[in-house]
Structures are given as C-alpha cells and as structure tokens.
Chains A and B, each alone.
Chain A
Amino acid sequence: MTALRKPSDLRRTQARTGYLFVLPTSVLYLTFVLAPVILTVILSFAYYDPMLGSRWVGLENFQRFFTDRRSLEILWNTLRFTFFAVTFNVSIGLILALALNRAMPGWLLYFFRLAFFLPVIIAAAFVSIVWSYFFGDDLGVINYFLRVLGLPAVRWLTDASTAMTSIVIMDVWKNTGFFMIIFIAALQGVPKSIMEAAVMDGTPAWRQFFRITLPYISPVVFFCIVYASIGALQVYESIVILTQGGPGDATRSLSILIVEQGFGSFQIGYAAAISVVMTVIILVITAIQQALSRKWVQR
C-alpha cells in the first residue's frame, strides 16, 4: 500500500484559484436559484402571513389544488395551450425554414428571414396590445374584413370556445420565427453530398426529407420541442394582456393562477404549492420527451 502523496504547492494554489473563479457564480446560483427553490418548497407546506401568523399545513395546499375543479380546469388549459403552441410553433418554424433553405436572391432571403423573425424581438406586451385590436369583436380589424366579405364575425377573445385558439394564433405568430432560425442553422448542417446523391438517385423530395433531412436535424427538433414546451407551460403576459385569463377561466394558465393567489389573494403557501406542481409537471413532461426521443432522435 502506498501512502497518499501530499499535493504540491502548485496544485494547491491552482485548486484555490479554481475555487475562487467558481465562487462568484456559486454564490449567485445559491442565492438566486437554489435558495428560492428551497424556500418555495418549504412555503408550499405552510400558510404564510407574517403579520396574521404563519403555520404548517402539511399537504393541505396540494390537496386544495388537486380537489379544486377550478385549478384542475386551469391545469387543463395550460396543457392544452402547451400542446397546440408547441405543435404549431415547431412545425410552422420547420416549414418556414425548409421554404427559406433554398437558392434565392440574397436580399429576398434576408427579407423573408427578417420578416418572420421580427415578431420574436418585439416585446410580448406590445404585440398583445396590437393583437387585441385585431381580435376585437365589433371594432376589431379581423372581424371588420370578415363582415365586409359577408362572413360572420368571430368572437375571438370573448367566447370561451375560441379564446384559447386566438391566443395560440398570436403565440405562433410571435414565436415561430425563433424556431425557424434554429432550423435554418440545423438544415445548413445537413451534408450537401448526401442530398446531391439522393437527387441523383431520383429520390422524391418528401422521401429526402423524412429519410435524410429529418434524421439529421432530429436532435435540434428535440431541443425545439423541449424548449417550446417549457416556455408554453409558463405562458403569462400574452394571456394577461389579451384576455386576463377570461372569459371566466377559459384562458387562465397556471402562471396567472400563481400570481393571482400569491400577490392578489396573499395565499403565498398555496401559490408556492402550485409552483411546485408546475415544476414537477415540467420535469415529468421533459422526462417523457427525453425517453421518447430515444426512439426517433439520431444520436
């Protein structure tokens, strides 16, 4: 058995320097990420009001969430929004990327890319206000043209059956350009030699896409789905500005419920419990996507 060698002075100095380098990041991470997460979990088991008296309530907050018809409806709204927003954002982003990943004059290419990407860089709050004028029932732009064409007007934001669709439409308009840019970058990584060989072999375009392009860019598609899902599950400002969660609860999301309970009704513990539920849902959905990805993502 050999005795452990004592680290040299140089190694010790290097280690110390290393620790010093990671110290600021670690402190920031502990303070602004880990500590709030731990605090949220602790608060989710409590009724918290420092002035009227706080107390432990065990699983009461979670029980309230899972037995309240309203909170379950809001959870369902959030999942519904996530499914449609992710599906359309990613698929339309991919279609636009395929459409723009071809030979065309440079200025036209940049024009289209800019046109589709521009909504991404505009603040959601501003975009939502503009869309609220488009979606207006009687004085709205879209219904004006529908009526001029002799078509019936649609209650875009004031009918429970169409309000969520309207929000998905705005969300896709706003965010699909981001996925388009990611897909364009991915498509440019597909080896040209393979595509040229497929063309020379007379492979139809749809088969080129499903057999060559899609497998090559599948890790990027997977990233986009996970990224879009996490964002959609936390949707907040666009709904608040367009419908404030209404009519009734038709478009209310979990994030809105958290803010309303925590900062409107001072149910800090209950809001923390909903946050914990939402985090677990995001983790579970991501884990399912990760597990399913083994079947279709090329490693």
Chain B
Amino acid sequence: MFRISRRNLLVSSAALAAGAGLGLGRAVAQSDATATLKLQTFGGDAELAGINSAIQRFNKAYPNVTVEVSIDPISTGWGDYVTKVLGQFTSGSAADVYGTAIETFQAFSARGLFLPLNDFVAANSGFSDFAPSLFEQGSYNGNINYIPIGWNNIMINYNRDLFDKAGVAYPARGWTWEQFRETAKALTVKDGSGNVSQFGYEVPNQNFFVLPWFFSNGTNILSADWTASNMLDPKVAETLQFLYDLIHVDGVSPIPGAEAMDNQFFAGQVAMINRGQWIVQNAKKNNLNMDIAVPPQKEKEATIIGFGAYAIAKSAANADLAKALVLELTSEETQREQGERGGGVPGRKSAASSEAFLAFPPSAFLYYETLPFTTPVPSPANFQEVEKIFIRHYTAMMSGQETIADGTKAADAELSESFTRLKQQLGG
C-alpha cells in the first residue's frame, strides 16, 4: 500500500486548511497518494451530509483516496456501538478513523485502540479554535486520543408561548431550584377531572439529562476521578428528593418512564425539558416558540457536556492520510455546515459564533457561554454498566418503588461491585 511522505502530507494539509479557512476556491495542491480509508462514525442525516461534503473537499487534495463511510445512528445506546467497534478490532476489520463520543472514550482507550495525537494537535495551530478543555477530556493517561467535533450541553428548553399564556417570566441567569419549582407549578395545568393537560416540567428519564441537577447541587453520582461511587453523599439524596417531590408533592412532572417526552414538549403538553442543542431542528420543524436557559442552581450554576470526536486506529495502514482526513472532518467549513444543520454545538468557536447558528433559539449564545462551567458526563471505562445501574435505581426511586435511602444504598453497592470488577479487568 502506498504511504505518503510527511512532507507531501504537510503541503497538502496546509493548502487544504488554507483553502478551508479562507473559503477560497479549491486551488489546493493535489496528492498522488492512492489508498482506501475506512471511516466508522455515528450520527444521522445532518452528520452524514456534513461528512460527505468534507470527503468531497478531502478528495480535491487526495483524488485517488477512496473514503468508505459507515455511519451508526446509535439507536440502541453507546454500549452497542462499543461492542461493534471492539468486534471490528478483534476480527481484524477495524476502520482507520473512528467517530465516537465521550461516553466511550475510556472503554476504547483502556484497550489501547487509538493513536496518541499529541504531536498532531501541536502541529496544527487551527485546533486552537477548539476549547482546550475538549482536548483535556479527550485524553487518556496524558495521550490525546480524540479530536473534538461538536458537543452538547444540557439546558432547560422552554416553550415561550406557554410561559406567556401563564403570565410567568422567562427564566433568568442564576435562577434557583425554588424559583424553578414555583415556575413549574405555575405552568402545570389540570382539567376538572384532575387530568393533567400540561406539565410544567419533565423529570428526565436519562442519565445525561438528569445529572445537571446533581452538579448544580455541588455533587455527582461518581467520585471526581470516576473510579468509585458517590451515591452515599447526602447531597445526592437531597437532589433525588427534590426531583421526587416535583413529581409526587408538586405534581408538576410525570414519573419518568421508558419514553422521553420530546413529542409532548413539541405538542405543548410539557413546558420545560432538559435537552441539548440537538432538539433545535425538531423545534424549528414544529414551529415551537422555544428558548433555552441555564439549569437552575442550588449551590452553583452548572451543567453537563457530552461531545463527539474523531480518533485514528493504531492499526490504520495510512495513519498520515487518516490524519489529513480528520483535519478536513474537523475543519471550520465542516463544522459550520454541521452546526447549521443541527445535531450539536460546533466544537470550533468560530463555527459556533456564526449568524446561522445563533439565529435560533434566541439565547443560543448560552451554549458556548456556559462551556466554562460544564462538567463532562462521567464516563469511566465501565460507563455502560454505571449508567444502567444508576438509571435502574433512579427510576425505581422516582416511581416510589424504592425509598431514596434504600435506592442510593443499593446503587452504591452495585456501582462499587462494578468498579471492583473493572479494576480486576484492567489489572489494577
């Protein structure tokens, strides 16, 4: 297989980056490298369209390189994606470039699947457009394994029409749990038979959506280094009690079930829900008069971030070509296109500052403004197991099947067992 020289690559990449950065015509130096690159990534139509455009631009510099794309919609969670990727590596059919998300980082890096990209990042000044914290969170044992693409931080998404109808003021920065509670009560509507026709809030049914409540109370379900359970922290129980009371005392939310309530939100049956930027496209399609607010605080303003990234397989036969492809996949042009199509906040600040991106919702600037105080979704190498344990006990506690005291204790015991097993697996 043909290997391009580092010099050729640098010339081509520089031309490519210059072209992308200046938005000029495609007068880029062409490489005569001939190869096939396999890209395994995730997403939907918006992501695929952006990727295809990036590949077209990549092919202008590398006309003889074929990029085979396989995209996974992640319809059954990250656990299945990890299993799929591990299967590709064990069967010797690994792709060259992988798109993945923070939830999987440690599961892959602990197995040493991807190249360290510290030199690559240092050699490309264009990456300074990304928040440095994204590279820190994409590192494992000091090695940068992941180049960020886009991210999502959870915000309170609210229906402005329902606020107007109820005569309730829109949420302001620094609002508190108690103010949130009163707002949710004012936005809950019941008919004469006691049927709720409109909920003030949806107490979330997913790990990613519910964790900001813990963060804003200065706690987390795992220890700071993600190696142990923190379920016995009294603040965890306090947070769970607050959410339980929203459901069972105030009646402002249904009990979280298997289905998320996005459709009910779009239909005006729920006034506020915790979601990321991915919801914007559907809000537009449904002509929803929506805006976003920073989650309310108990101890501090806080929210959660999850992000996508590209990694290069250690087994990649053409690592330099793979790096050139990643450069294009993370270029400002690609990021702008993907940001405008929806699905997440572009990792590059320049792309997230574009007029098209900031046009909707009215407070879209908050996505980037809150980045300094977002906490990454706790993603240890046993993330899939941790998430399942937490959500199982969380839903049992929210439904009243388990008391909060028993549920936190049981979850703590199971999480501790899981971390013990993980340490054994990793040889710790």
- Whether B193 lies near A147 (C-beta < 8 A) is yes
Contact B89 A263 (CB under 8 A): no
Is there an interface contact between B258 and A159, defined as CB atoms closer than 8 Å?
no
Q: Which residues of A lie under 8 Å from residue B396 when comparing CB positions? A: 160, 246-250
B388 at interface (Cβ–Cβ under 8 A)?
yes
Q: Which of B379-398 contact A (CB under 8 A)?
A: 382, 384-385, 388, 392-393, 395-396, 398
Contacts of A148 in B (CB 8 A): 193, 195
Beta-carbon nearest neighbor of B382 in chain A: A265
Report if A266 contacts B (CB, 8 A). Answer: yes
| Chain A residues, Cβ within 8 Å of B385 | 264-265
Residues of B within 8 A of A51 (CB): 86, 89-90, 111-113
Q: How far is the CA of A137 from the CA of B253 in the complex (A)?
A: 11
Distance from B249 Cβ to chain A, minimum over Cβ atoms (Å): 15
Report yes or no: B195 in contact with A144, Cβ–Cβ below 8 A: yes
| Contact A147 B195, beta carbon cutoff 8 Å | yes
Name the interface residues of A260-299: CB closer than 8 Å to any CB of B.
Answer: 260, 263-266
Contacts of B86 in A (CB 8 A): 51, 266
* Stretch of A10-18, A29-37, A88-96, A236-244 that contacts chain B: A236-244
Q: List chain B residues, Cβ under 8 A from A157.
A: 257-258
Q: A51-B111, A148-B193 are in contact. Are A248 and B254 (CB under 8 A)?
A: no
Which chain B residues numbered 191 to 215 have a C-beta less than 8 Å away from chain A?
Answer: 193-196, 199
Cβ of A52 and Cβ of B110 under 8 Å apart?
yes
Question: In the complex, are the beta carbons of B110 and A248 less than 8 A apart?
Answer: no
Tell whether B354 is near chain A: CB-to-CB under 8 Å. Answer: no
Is B77 at the interface (CB under 8 A from chain A)? yes
Q: Is B269 touching A248 in the complex (CB atoms < 8 A)?
A: no
Using a CB-CB cutoff of 8 Å, which residues 130-145 of chain A contact chain B? 132, 136-139, 143-144
B245 close to chain A: CB less than 8 A: no
Question: Is the interface on chain A under 10, 10 to 19, 20 to 34, or 35 or more residues?
Answer: 35 or more
Q: What band does the interface of chain B fall in when counting residues whose beta carbon is under 8 Å from A? A: 35 or more
CA distance A108 to B400 in the complex (A): 47
CB-defined contacts of B79 to chain A, threshold 8 Å: 263-265
Known: A51-B90, A138-B199, A157-B258. A266 touches B402 (CB 8 A): no
CB distance from A167 to the nearest CB of B (A): 11
**Which of B89, B254, B401, B427 is in CB contact (< 8 Å) with A137?**
B254
A258 CA / B77 CA spacing, docked (Å): 16
A80 contacts partner chain B, Cβ-Cβ < 8 Å: no
**How many Å lie between the Cα of A153 and that of B195 in the bound state?**
9
0/1 string, B240-278, CB within 8 A of A gives 1 = 000000000000001101110000100001000000000
A52 CA to B29 CA in the complex, in Å?
A: 43
**Interface residue? A158 (CB, 8 A):** yes
Let me know if A113 is at the binding interface, CB within 8 A. Answer: no
Known: A139-B269, A265-B382, A266-B83. A243 touches B401 (CB 8 A): no
Q: Are A160 and B401 in contact (CB under 8 A)?
A: yes
Per a CB cutoff under 8 Å, which of A49, A153, A248 touches B402? A248
User: What is the distance, in angstroms, from B139's C-beta to the closest C-beta of chain A?
Assistant: 20
Answer whether A263 and B258 are a contact pair too, CB < 8 Å, given A51-B86, A247-B399: no
Among residues of B, the one whose C-beta sits closest to the C-beta of A147 is B193
A106 contacts B by Cβ under 8 Å = no
CB distance from A265 to the nearest CB of B (A): 4
Residue in B107, B112, B425 with the greatest tally of chain A CB atoms within 10 Å = B425
User: Of residues 406 to 425 in B, which have CB atoms within 8 Å of A's CB atoms?
Assistant: 414, 418, 425
B258 in contact with A160 (CB, 8 Å): no
- In the bound assembly, the distance between CA atoms of A265 and B193 in angstroms comes to 45
- Asked if B33 CB lies within 8 Å of chain A CBs, one says no
The reply to whether the CB of B82 lies closer than 8 angstroms to some CB of chain A is yes
What 1/0 mask marks residues of chain B from 155 to 173 whose CB sits below 8 Å from any chain A CB?
Answer: 0000000000000000000
CB closest chain-B residue, reference A249: B392
Main secondary structure of the interface of A (DSSP, over half): loop
Q: Which single member of A52, A155, A160 contacts B111 (CB below 8 Å)? A: A52
Determine if B399 and A158 form an interchain contact, defined as CB atoms under 8 angstroms apart: yes
Q: In the complex, what distance in Å separates the CA atom of A4 from the CA atom of B193?
A: 91
A260 with B402: CB separation less than 8 A: no
| CB closest residue in chain A, given B251 | A138
Contact present for B401 and A247 (CB under 8 Å): yes
Q: Which of A52, A242, A248 is close to B425, meaning CB atoms less than 8 Å apart? A: A52
- Contact between B395 and A246 (Cβ–Cβ < 8 Å)? yes
Residues of B within 8 A of A155 (CB): 255, 399
Interface assignment of A177: CB less than 8 Å from any CB of chain B: no
Chain A positions within 8 Å of B90 at CB level: 50-51
Cβ contact within 8 Å between B258 and A241: yes
Interfacial chain A residues near B427, Cβ < 8 Å: 52-53
Q: Which residue of A lies closest to B421 (CB)?
A: A267
B395 & A247 in contact (Cβ 8 Å cutoff): yes
Contacts of A265 in B (CB 8 A): 79, 382, 384-385, 388, 418
Known: A264-B79, A264-B384. A248 touches B259 (CB 8 A): no
Q: How far is the CA of A246 from the CA of B392 in the complex (A)?
A: 7
> In the complex, are the beta carbons of A49 and B392 less than 8 A apart?
no
Write the chain B residue with the least CB distance to A133. B259
* A150 CA / B426 CA spacing, docked (Å): 58
**How far apart are the CA atoms of A124 and B396 in the complex, in Å?**
25
Residues of A within 8 A of B32 (CB): none
| Docked-complex contact A248 and B392, CB < 8 angstroms | yes
Task: Report whether A248 and B395 are in contact in the complex, using a CB–CB cutoff of 8 Å.
Answer: yes
Instruction: Judge if B233 is at the interface, Cβ distance under 8 Å.
Output: no
A157 to B255, CA, bound (A): 10
Check: B129 CB closer than 8 A to any chain A CB: no
Looking at the assembled complex, report how far the CB atom of A260 sits from the nearest CB atom of chain B, in whole angstroms.
6
Is B80 located at the chain interface by the 8 A CB criterion? yes
Contacts of A143 in B (CB 8 A): 195
Contact of B195 (CB < 8 Å), options: A47, A138, A241, A250? A138
Partner of B254, one of A49, A139, A260: A139
Residue contacts A-B, CB under 8 angstroms, 18 given: A49-B425, A51-B86, A132-B257, A138-B195, A144-B195, A153-B194, A157-B257, A157-B258, A159-B400, A244-B258, A246-B399, A247-B255, A250-B396, A260-B388, A263-B80, A264-B80, A265-B382, A266-B384
Shortest beta-carbon contacts, A-B, top 8 = A248-B396, A264-B79, A247-B399, A158-B255, A265-B385, A51-B111, A160-B401, A138-B196
